[in-house]
């Protein structure tokens, strides 16, 4: 088994009523706060992961712990296509996670977090945080 642990956070969008989408800036604040509460420092926004699918400047990176994350949402433009990122969909995020998994060195942990949405803002934020916590727990962080 590879020593590299990668987590993918996915979401099923609610099937009825209006959908509230967690803004990327809010997701970054929430992810940073959760990682910080676990003793990590995800404040580096300059770490780059190069994959055959995309070059990512991570939304959060702790260089000492080798832990980072990328929140992928529809507004993340593909610089080659000039359109919304194909990696914000569940299948696209899974594909990107696999590419990140293959690209990072052993011992590095990067979460690809797909756009998060729910029927209400409160439910969206709560479920995003609980899912993130579960994924971090699974990584032993």
Read off the pLDDT of residues 88-119 as tens digits, 9 standing for 90 and up.
Answer: 777 888 899 999 999 999 999 999 998 888 89
Give the tens place of pLDDT for each residue, 70-93: 998 876 555 555 566 778 777 888
Is the distance from CB of 110 to CB of 49 less than 8 angstroms? yes
127: pLDDT strictly greater than 80: yes
Give the C-alpha separation, 141 to 138, whole Å. Answer: 8
pTM exceeds 0.75 for this model: yes
């Amino acid at each position: 088994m590879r020593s590299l642990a990668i987590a993918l956070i996915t979401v099923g969008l609610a099937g009825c009523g209006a959908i509230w989408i967690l803004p990327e800036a809010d997701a970054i604040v929430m992810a940073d706060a959760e990682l910080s509460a676990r003793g990590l420092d995800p404040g580096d926004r300059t770490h780059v992961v190069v994959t055959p699918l995309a070059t990512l400047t991570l939304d959060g990176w702790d260089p000492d712990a080798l832990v980072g994350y990328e929140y992928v949402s529809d507004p993340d433009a593909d610089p080659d296509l000039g359109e919304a990122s194909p990696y914000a969909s569940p299948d696209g995020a899974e594909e990107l996670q696999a590419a990140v998994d293959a690209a990072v060195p052993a011992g590095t942990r990067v979460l690809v977090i797909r756009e998060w949405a729910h029927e209400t803002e409160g439910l969206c934020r709560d479920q995003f945080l609980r899912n993130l916590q579960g994924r971090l727990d699974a990584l032993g962080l």
